[in-house]
Structures are given as C-alpha cells and as structure tokens.
Structure 1
C-alpha cells in the first residue's frame, strides 16, 4: 500500500515540475495583445477572390487602398496568432487567401483571434468565402457572384451587391442579411439556425432552414421560403412577385403595408387555421385548412403549405 502511495506522490511531483517548466518556458499563460500577422497583394488584373479558412472568425470588407490585405489579429498567448498559417497566392486572375490554424496535440491557445480581409473596390467576377468553424461577416463588397459558406458559426452580410447570384450557406449558425442586392437570385440556407433578412433586392429569393425561424422585412422580387421547424414571418411595403411559403411545424404570417391590387392565394394546411384579411379578396373555396381565392386579376400568386401551424395574410 505504501508503495502505491509513494508512486502516486512521485507522479504528482513530476506533474508539478512539468507544469512549472511549461509555465516558465512557454507563453501558454502569458496573455496580451499579440502581434498581428499581415499579408498584402496587388489586385491588378484580379477577377476572382477566394478565401478559405479552417477555424477562425473572418471579416471581409471594402478598402480605399489599392492592395488587398489580410491580417490575423487578436488577444491571447503567442500561439493564438502565430499558430495560424496565413497565405495569399495568385493563380492567373485569382487570389487565394488561406488561413489554417495549427491543431497539433501539443499546441495550446488562450484568447481570441480574427482574420480581417480588406478588399479594394473593382469589377470582380467572383468573391467566395469558406469558413470551416467561426463567425463570418462581409460588408460593402461588389462582384459578379458572391458566395459565403460557414460550417459552424453565424454569418452577417451588409450592404453588398452582386451582378449575378448571391449565395449564403451555414450548417450550424444564424444568418443575418441587411441591405443586400442581387440582380439574379439570392439563395440563403441553414441546416440549424435563424434567417433574418431585411431590405433585400433580387429578381428571386430562396430562403431555407431545417430548424429555425425565418424573418423577412422589406424585400422585392419573387420569394420562396421553406422551414421544417420554425415560424415564417414576411413583412414588406408591397407585393412585388410570387410567394411560395412552406412550413412543416410553425406559423406563417405575411403582412403588406400597402394592400396588393392583384393576387391569388392557394393555401392548404394540415393542422391549423388560415385567414386572409384583404379588402376586395374573393373566395372560391374556404375551410379552416383550405383557402382558394384572388383579388383583381390574380397577377401575383401566393402559395402556402403548412403541416402544423396557422397562416395569416393581411
């Protein structure tokens, strides 16, 4: 028994000595504003910008300078910043920005860090940003095609313009979009997370979430919105395109500040009630779970499907 106690004490002593050595010879517990890593590159002749990040918060925004810059900054021990391998590579008319964190078993990080990319304004054909794990935000960008992907983290997009499509995807995290434009399609999807979209202008918009609410405030164009589990709330000044709204479990509310002059409604629900409160709306068929009708010439079509939840249009 005594032998076991001696062995245990020896192991504790060895651990304490090892911990003291680590404390005195490394920066593991020495936190401060770490020195930033910075890379720059010319954008002359560049048409495509691709950003690929493994595990880091990312912010991409416009700059008035004539060079693209990528900076890893933050607070914490040395490994929090220096443990990130940052690179910018040029391939033809494309710039590739990569940031990969060293995930060695013996690497320890304390603190926080963020990759900030500043992009000069010019006529890019494509800007894509792919983040494995971390929050992503972009602001004031313009390109022929904009694509954002986050594996795990929230996505925020403000004041961006696409001459073609604008695609935003998040596996696990909320998506917040404000004052964005897409000349063709805006497509926003999340496996698990809420979608908040406001002041979106697009020829067509598609919003999808497997688990989460969808809130739309002021938009233009046609709209497809689908949620498996969550509420769908659409508010806008006026109806400017067809709407296809589907929710498996949750309510659907559609509100317009200005009553539409012409629309048709096709609502079918499983468990829940449907109501339409619009002056001049004429019913062709109406039950608790079915509404078929129109106003005017039925120019815009509103199609609503719910399995479990109420529907209200006004």
Structure 2
C-alpha cells in the first residue's frame, strides 16, 4: 500500500510539473504574446478572461495584440469577422494549486476601431478606458458580461451598451450611449456621468446610476435589491411608479402627484421624458 501511495505521489508531481511547464504548443514561458491584424471586415473583438488582471489599451495601431505575464497561455485568433482573445490557465484537477503569483494581461487594440466589442469576465479584474471624456473610445456596440470579479470602464461613446452582471463589481464613468441596458442579478454596478436611454433590471444586488443629462426615456424594474437614479436638477420627467412590495421614492417635488401603497406618479419640470418604475420587491430611489 505504501509503494502504491509513493507511486501515486510521483505521478501526481510529474503531472503538475508538466502541466505548468508545457501546453499543447510547447514550452509555457512566463511571457507570451499573440496578435491578429484588424481589417475592414472585422466586425467584433471579443475578450474572454478569467483569474487574470487585464487592461485593454486603445492606441495607434492596426492589430489586436495581447501580452501575458505570469502562468498560462494567451491566444488571439480570427474567426470570420471576429477576433477573439482568450487566456488558458494551467491547473491540476481544475484547481490552481501553486499560482500564488499574479498573472496580468495587456490587450492593445486600434484606437480608431469603432465596431463591436464583447467582454467576458469570469473572475479577476478588467480595466478598459478611453483617452479622456473629451476624446472617448467610440464603439458601435459594447457588451460586458460579468460572472464575478471587478470591471472598470471609462470614457466611451457607444450606440448600444449591454451589461449583464451575475456577481462581482462594475464601475463605469463618462458613458454616452444611445441605448443602455443593465441586467443585475447579484453584485453591484455603479455608473457616473451617464447619458442616454436607460433600461435597468435588478433581480438582486445594487445598481446606482448618476446621469449628467436626461434626454430619453428610462425604464426601471426591481424584483429584489436596489436602484438609485441620480438625475440633474433640471431634469424634466413624468414618473409612472408601480409597487407590489417594497418602495419607490422621489427626492424631486412632483406636480399632479399620485401616491398610494402601490403607486407613485407625477411630473417634474417639463415632464418630457417617461420614467417607468416597477418594484415587485426592493427599492427604487429617484434623487
């Protein structure tokens, strides 16, 4: 029995050593990089990362390049009209027993790329920022799917923004979107200096959005959790609030106010834009 245990430990140690030294394409060095050129046919850049601290850097270039420092391998591949960036971490029986060091990745993309981007974060951290609020990153569609971990986005002008958060933490700042959709099932999403149409659905967790300007309709739905909507003082809106359980509150004085246990309605300022708020449980605060 003792010999069998020793043989098992030797085999296990050899497997772990091989697993950390090699991947399918050869030696897994501490630094790895890969790149694919962006063409006129490129319609989407997808970045799929987990357990890695990642920074996306827009700069003057004509390709997508990823550089990894730490354990694992990085791949940048073209599939039809899409460029995909992914990281493979090494582990034993799906656990990274010995990865106590920090693995980081930098993804460089063309600053003049203006089509679709999709970001998938299973865990870890991702940071993606345009140059400034005056010189933002412009995209057609930006999709952010967060399983856990942390994401920070700043300085964007997009046609459509889609954020799905099942856990973790999302911080956004200086976002201009023709249409924005936030689906929060857990965790927290905090957005500052947002402008655009807004559709928010919170089944659990917390969503706070501060808007620089209200120039489109807003839809808020909470089945559990909390939504805080911070509007400018001169916002003109008509509130249509329905409550089956929980609470809807407004810090703005409302004209033609209608308030009961299951309803809050009224107009502020010009009343131009509709704010539809529906709470089945939890809270919505308009402030």
Q: TM-score, normalised by structure 2?
A: 0.74
Contact 1:237 1:258 in 2 (8 A): no
What are the residue-to-residue correspondences of 1:40-59 with 2, within 5 Å?
Answer: 40-43=35-38, 47-48=42-43, 50-51=45-46, 57=52, 58-59=54-55
Q: CA deviation at 1:228?
A: 0.8
CA distance in 2, matches of 1:230, 1:272: 15
Partner Cα distance (1:208, 1:91) in 2: 28
Counterpart position of 1:179:
155
Gaps of 5+ in 1: 1-6, 75-79, 123-141
Aligned to 2:165: 190
- Change over 3 Å in CA distance of 1:118–1:264 after alignment to 2: same
Which of the residues 55, 66, 88 maps onto 1:100?
A: 88
Q: Structure 2 matches for 1:49-88, cutoff 5 A?
A: 50-51=45-46, 57=52, 58-64=54-60, 68-74=64-70, 80-81=71-72, 84=73, 86-88=74-76
* Offset from partner CA, 1:220-270 (integer Å, 9 cap, x none): 11111111112333323442221111112234433334232x311111123
Equivalent residue number for residue 135 of structure 1: none
Task: From the CA coordinates, give the structure whose radius of gyration is larger.
Answer: 1
Pick which of 203-212 and 244-253 moved more. 244-253
**Alpha-carbon displacement from aligned partner over 1:143-183 (angstroms, at most 9, x marks no partner):** 2222212234444332263442211112334443322220x
Matched, 1:304 2:277: yes
The CA RMSD measured in Å over matched residues stands at 3.9
Aligned length: 272
* Secondary structure class of the residue paired with 1:271: coil
Consecutive unaligned residues of structure 2, counting only runs of 5 or more, are 22-28, 131-135
Structure 1 200/36 Cα, relative in aligned 2: closer, same or farther at 3 Å?
same
Query: C-alpha displacement at 1:313, in angstroms?
Result: 2.7
Q: Distance in 2 between matches of 1:90 and 1:238?
A: 39
CA shift in 2, pair 1:284/1:219, >3 Å = same
Partner Cα separation in structure 1 for residue 79 and residue 230 of structure 2? 49
SS of equivalent residue, structure 2 residue 252: coil
1:161 aligns with 2:137: yes
